[in-house]
Amino acid sequence: MSHSDAPRGPVARLLQALALVVVFAVLYFTARATPAFEGAFGVISALGFFLLAGVLASELLEVVGLPHLTAYILVGIVAGPHVMHLVDHEAVVELQVFNTLALALIALAGGAELRVELLRPMVRSLSWATLVQCVIGMVGAGAVFFGLARFLPFAQGQSVLALCGIALLWGVIAVTRSPSATLGILAQTRPSGPLSRFALGFVMSSDVVVAILLSLTLALARPLIEPSTGISLRDMTELGHEILGSISLGCSVGLLLSVYLWLVSGQLLLVLIALGFGLTEGLRYLRFEPLLTFMCAGFVVANLTQQGPKLLHAVEQTGSVVFVVFFATAGAHLDVALLRQLWPIALALAGSRLLLVVFANRLSTKLSDDDPIVRRWGWAPLVSQAGLALGLAAVIERAFPSFGAGFRALVVATVAINEMIGPVLFKLALDRAGETGRASEAGAV
């Protein structure tokens, strides 16, 4: 995802801008002039367009300090089916196959970055941050949602107890983060310092906490929303199976991958693609969590063997192409019409969540006596939301069909806002903290 070798002079930037206009124009006239633009030809054209336009836009927006993945998302939004309709909905759905590979690579890289020697000094900080962010985030966001419920069509006619249950579910959505956005910024900037270490440790470990919270909240919220039902222990059993099975299989995959890297180390691209696509489908069939499994695999490779740097290099090479399509597709998938309809409520929920994150960060960093940089900027990597929040919304929709569709639509609108502003705030924080240049400086010594 890094384009550091690209020319950066004013003439080069002008040429990049002209090239971006040409790429958009070619796709526009091709889509209008070719009757059979849909189908396989449309998918291939969309793939090429996202790669070219995404890289060009990221270089141009880098001038004003915007992160690369924000450029990819913007290209997807503008060219997608909800704005210019240069890429139709069918092509966007077909390209989402890249999401499987991208999330696998993100989890592998995230696990490989979580080295024990870096995490050990952060145990106190991460423990306080997790506890305070979850408590304040869930309670605060749930209270805001409860206060705004009368403006939401799907909440009309619900009893007070039912609204309390729905507010609890919203609280779980509010404490989700985006590992993909965090790792996307870290991959671009290659920072080094307390803020980047805190961001990586917290965001990558929070997925496990959120998975546990969702199962607990579903069990507690169900009798509030549906008084005829009681608290079920089935969700707890499934949760234990999912977490323990994912960790066990991830450790096994990590050991096998380490042996391969040690003995063979060739054709890593094919191996990563096979793992990303093949293993992910198998994990879903077994009802394991792919993100947790691949995270454990990367952790094992980095901490129990000497193959961590080799794995990270291979993931970076593969991801440089995959991540462009992943984030561009995410942008194209955003329902702009829905966001326009729900934006006042979504903006209020996203804004209140941001304030809660900042307040919780100040409190937790004070309790754990963190580095001043983390005290000031530790909230920034916690703003982004993406796939995990949308996945949880889908689970809630299936569990509560009476209001699930409206609930999920509001999640999509709110996540769209956080997905756009979160990466920008995190990169700004890294720049202000002075960490984005340290990795390169350290490598030059």
Ramachandran class of 338: left when φ > 0, alpha when ψ lies in -120 to 50, beta otherwise? alpha
What is the rounded average pLDDT of the residues 388-398? 75
In this prediction, residue 234 has a pLDDT band, given cuts at 50, 70 and 90, of: low
For 25-29, 292-296, 335-339, which range has the lowest pLDDT when averaged over its residues?
335-339
Q: What is the per-residue pLDDT for 442? A: 39
Q: What is the per-residue pLDDT for 141? A: 94
Report the C-alpha gap between 301 and 256 in whole angstroms. Answer: 9
Highest mean pLDDT among 120-134, 172-186, 400-414: 120-134
Report the C-alpha gap between 89 and 170 in whole angstroms. Answer: 28
For the cut 90, the answer to whether the pLDDT of residue 353 exceeds it is yes
Report the C-alpha gap between 409 and 309 in whole angstroms. Answer: 41
For the cut 50, the answer to whether the pLDDT of residue 444 exceeds it is no
Nearest to 199 by CA among 104, 298, 133, 102: 133
- How many other β-carbons are positioned within 10 Å of the β-carbon of residue 342? 22
Q: What is the per-residue pLDDT for 356? A: 95
In this prediction, residue 360 has a pLDDT band, given cuts at 50, 70 and 90, of: very high
What is the rounded average pLDDT of the residues 297-316? 86
For 26-35, 138-147, 302-311, which range has the lowest pLDDT when averaged over its residues?
26-35
Q: What are the tens digits of pLDDT across the range 189-221?
A: 778 788 888 888 888 777 667 767 777 787 788
For the cut 60, the answer to whether the pLDDT of residue 5 exceeds it is no
Cβ atoms of residues 383 and 202 within 8 Å: no
218-223: which pairs have CB atoms within 8 A and are 24 or more residues apart?
218/169, 218/395, 218/396, 218/399, 220/165, 220/168, 221/165, 221/166, 221/168, 221/169, 222/165, 222/399, 223/165
Q: What are phi and psi of 419, to 5 degrees?
A: -70, -30
What is the rounded average pLDDT of the residues 173-194? 81
In this prediction, residue 443 has a pLDDT band, given cuts at 50, 70 and 90, of: very low
What is the rounded average pLDDT of the residues 8-37? 81
What is the rounded average pLDDT of the residues 141-156? 88
Q: What is the pTM of this model?
A: 0.70
Percent of the chain at pLDDT exceeding 90: 16
Residues 62/67/73/77 CA torsion (nearest 10 deg): -50
Nearest to 54 by CA among 314, 327, 256: 327
For the cut 80, the answer to whether the pLDDT of residue 38 exceeds it is no
Q: What is the per-residue pLDDT for 407? A: 85
Ramachandran class of 190: left when φ > 0, alpha when ψ lies in -120 to 50, beta otherwise? left
Q: What is the per-residue pLDDT for 4? A: 47
Pick the more confident residue, 164 or 113.
164
Q: What are the tens digits of pLDDT across the range 399-427?
A: 788 888 788 778 878 887 887 788 889 98
| Start-to-end Cα distance in the chain | 24
Q: What is the per-residue pLDDT for 362? A: 94
Q: What is the per-residue pLDDT for 357? A: 95
Pick the more confident residue, 174 or 398.
174
For the cut 50, the answer to whether the pLDDT of residue 240 exceeds it is yes
For 57-71, 141-155, 377-391, which range has the lowest pLDDT when averaged over its residues?
57-71
For the cut 60, the answer to whether the pLDDT of residue 252 exceeds it is yes
For 2-6, 76-80, 278-282, 303-307, which range has the lowest pLDDT when averaged over its residues?
2-6
What are the structure tokens assigned to 308, written together? 């961590």
Highest mean pLDDT among 84-93, 234-243, 363-372: 363-372
How many residues comprise the chain?
445
Q: What is the per-residue pLDDT for 441? A: 43
What is the rounded average pLDDT of the residues 72-78? 86
Nearest to 319 by CA among 16, 76, 145, 72: 72
Nearest to 173 by CA among 424, 427, 426, 404: 404
For the cut 50, the answer to whether the pLDDT of residue 231 exceeds it is yes
DSSP string, 313-378: HHHHHHHHHHHHHHHHHHHHHS-HHHHHHHHHHHHHHHHHHHHHHHHHHHHHHHHTT--HHHHHHT
In this prediction, residue 302 has a pLDDT band, given cuts at 50, 70 and 90, of: confident
